[in-house]
Structure 1
Amino acid sequence: MPASKEHTRDINGPASQLELGQGYDIIGDIHGCAYTLEKLLVKMGYEKQDGVYKHQHRKAIFLGDIVDRGPHIREALHLVKNMVDAGYAYCIMGNHEYNAIAYTTAIDMADDDTGEKQFVREHNARNNRQISETLTQFAAYPEEWRTFLDWFLTLPLYLEFDDFRVVHACWDQQLIDALVDLTGGAKATPELVRESFNPNSLAGRIFDRLTRGTGLPLPEGRTIKGSDGYIRRIFRTKFWAHNPTTYKDVVFQPDPLPEDLIDFPLNPDQQASLLSYADDLPPIFVGHYWLQGRPRPIKPNIACLDYSAVKYGRLVAYRFCGEQRLSEDKFEWVYVDP
């Protein structure tokens, strides 16, 4: 199969044009599972040379969420960044990289009650908990952490090649076009991060939609307690559903809806707010969604590669060679050993 032509304005790091017959290995959320990532790369034929993993005929593409939760976050970041810097891989921004940037980006105002500095991402109990493992592992390496934070800001929010696309959570063409109009490409800017302090701003909607996906509010007064212990008032939805009529048609998350809401009807405003990814669009690869079971395409042109690695699931890759109908036999994975 011919190699994909790269839209280099949307790609981070040094890019070398792949020659005929080469391909891409697209890898899901790592969350600090560095040693599992090494096993997956070796299984796919990557070799460590001068401290960097490379393949003779392929490039890796990381779908973001390298940080948080897992036991070897620092090691995972070094591994991925070294591959990107050497031109052997690409990496896009996940919501956890955005969260880290936002958590450490101050805004030009102080809290009215305390006078303390405010940040784009509030330093509350929930957000502190989410980033705590990363901050703990970098406590003795503050300069390294600053280097990685600067690097996160260089990561594109999506990549688009001639025959496939990658984004962490959701392809929203309208907001992608808006991002390009604002920044001239796929990467964020410090100003855009600061503007995202307002979740209803254009910047806030871009980061939220591309790195967290779409969602719908539960009926008034209803909540879901997730397996991670968080209480949520919204549920994650597909960005590819065609003509959905009930919650069941659009829900896409690891935690099930309450039984009495499964067939709850969508109202016209909810139906109008949902996205749809047409069957004739290029294949797209996402992470983010904590899937379980045997990896397989969601649709012939959609694959999710997040199979809950840090929860002792699988770290998954798709070995793409230009096919426009994705195949179950192109998935590769390793199990995460507790």
Structure 2
Amino acid sequence: MSMQGGLEGYDLIGDVHGCGATLGSLLERLGYHQRGGVYRHPRRKVIFLGDLIDRGPRIRLAVTIARRMVEEGEAHIVMGNHEYNALAYCHRAPASLGREWLREHTPRHNRIIKETLEQYHDHPQEWEETLAWFLDIPLCLELDGLRVVHACWDQPLVDALRRVRPDARIDRDFLVDSVVPGTQAFRILDRLTRGTHLPLPEGVELHSGDGFTRRSFRAHFWARQPQTWGDVIFQPDNLPDDLEQRELTDEQRSRLSFYGPEQPPLFIGHYWCEGIPALPAVNVACLDYSAVKFGRLVAYRWSGEATLDADHFVWIRVPREEEARPQPWEIDFD
């Protein structure tokens, strides 16, 4: 695949989640260097897979690095569910919804966004500008022979999105519609940024490594004819007992998307994988390797290949020192 303008390829980077110092280190390893306060490469560009914010200690730094690169034409980005959650959490709901905020301020939701709001607390104008930038981030990208989405490429829903928003960017009306279950906007946002969740049996819970209790599991979308729950589960938490052998019902199969091996290379984040980066399918790469849980911040160096190659992963282990709050110069790095 030949790329325009002498571009050699793209470096796709998974979920940063506020590990801003590690992001800078990864960009340096990939050959990007700061000029004018922006990381640049003479022959390549970055594509961020979303989820820049929440949980980590250098959220403002991560957002600043990515936003400057995007605005200077050195990078692209797609929206993650955490950027979407922040938009809904911080936008007031219309009276017709019967609540104050689009995303209700429950203890669970408060906990997820807590670090982000604390780190922007003394920078309210910067936070408002960041939210405005989030609203301008597309939900998916298709360029130069590759596709990018945060969680799941569902072609019918991508097509539906592009019919109403050809650039795949949402607006405030779309955002409001997206919090109402059953709407087309809800289906699009939910599938593209969160993927498919299948409910666990009544009374069964997963106590996840991130401290949350879940009553569903994340399912992938590249099994052609899945038969059991184990054929589609895609998360580090194992299912309890013998649930991986449980047969998928017809209703559950109908909820799954499918991305076939003949489709263009696809890059996703979201699924907090663990261990050494590997390819779950010949044309699918997941780049979320639990950076904020002291895993790996992972990139894939794509140079036009139709068949992906695990040797093209590049990563940095996130050090425990990343826990420490940043010094001022780590934010204002001009």
Letter in 2 for 1:270: Q
2:200 is aligned with 1:218: yes
The answer to whether the Cα contact below 8 Å between 2:154 and 2:258 also exists between their aligned partners in 1 is no
CA RMSD of superposed structures (Å): 1.3
2:15 paired residue number = 29
Give the 5 Å matches for 1:312-327: 312-327=294-309
Query: CA shift at 1:107, angstroms?
Result: 1.4
1:7 paired residue number = none
2:111 is aligned with 1:125: no
**1:89 counterpart (75, 81, 97):** 75
* SS at structure 2 position matched to 1:60: strand
Among the aligned pairs, what percent are the same residue?
51
Deviates more, 1:134-143 or 1:294-303: 294-303
Query: CA shift at 1:111, angstroms?
Result: 8.1
Q: Give the structure-1-normalised TM-score.
A: 0.92
Distance 1:68 1:319 in 2: 26
Report the CA distance shift for 1:86/1:300 in structure 2 as closer, same or farther (over 3 A): same
| Residues 157-213 of structure 1, C-alpha deviations (whole Å, 9 max, x = no match) | 000014110000000111111111122321111101001121221111111100000
Give the 5 Å matches for 1:210-249: 210-249=192-231
1:19 paired residue number = 6
2:277 is aligned with 1:290: no
How many residue pairs are counted as aligned between the two chains? 320
2:310 paired residue number = 328
Query: CA shift at 1:260, angstroms?
Result: 2.2
2:2 paired residue number = 2
* SS at structure 1 position matched to 2:95: strand
Q: Give the structure-2-normalised TM-score.
A: 0.93
2:327 paired residue number = none
| Residues 91-117 of structure 1, C-alpha deviations (whole Å, 9 max, x = no match) | 1100000000000111111886xxxx5
2:52 paired residue number = 66
Letter in 2 for 1:51: G
2:151 is aligned with 1:151: no
Distance 1:289 1:153 in 2: 23
Distance 1:206 1:181 in 2: 12
2:92 paired residue number = 106
Distance 1:173 1:18 in 2: 28
The answer to whether the Cα contact below 8 Å between 2:222 and 2:281 also exists between their aligned partners in 1 is no
The answer to whether the Cα contact below 8 Å between 1:236 and 1:251 also exists between their aligned partners in 2 is yes
Q: Give structure 1 stretches of 5+ with no counterpart.
A: 4-16
| Residues 228-281 of structure 1, C-alpha deviations (whole Å, 9 max, x = no match) | 222211110011111111111111112110022110111112122211111100
1:207 paired residue number = 189
2:61 paired residue number = 75
1:185 paired residue number = 167
Letter in 2 for 1:58: R
* SS at structure 2 position matched to 1:131: helix
Distance 1:93 1:111 in 2: 24
Structure 1 segments of 4+ aligned residues over 3 angstroms from their partners: none
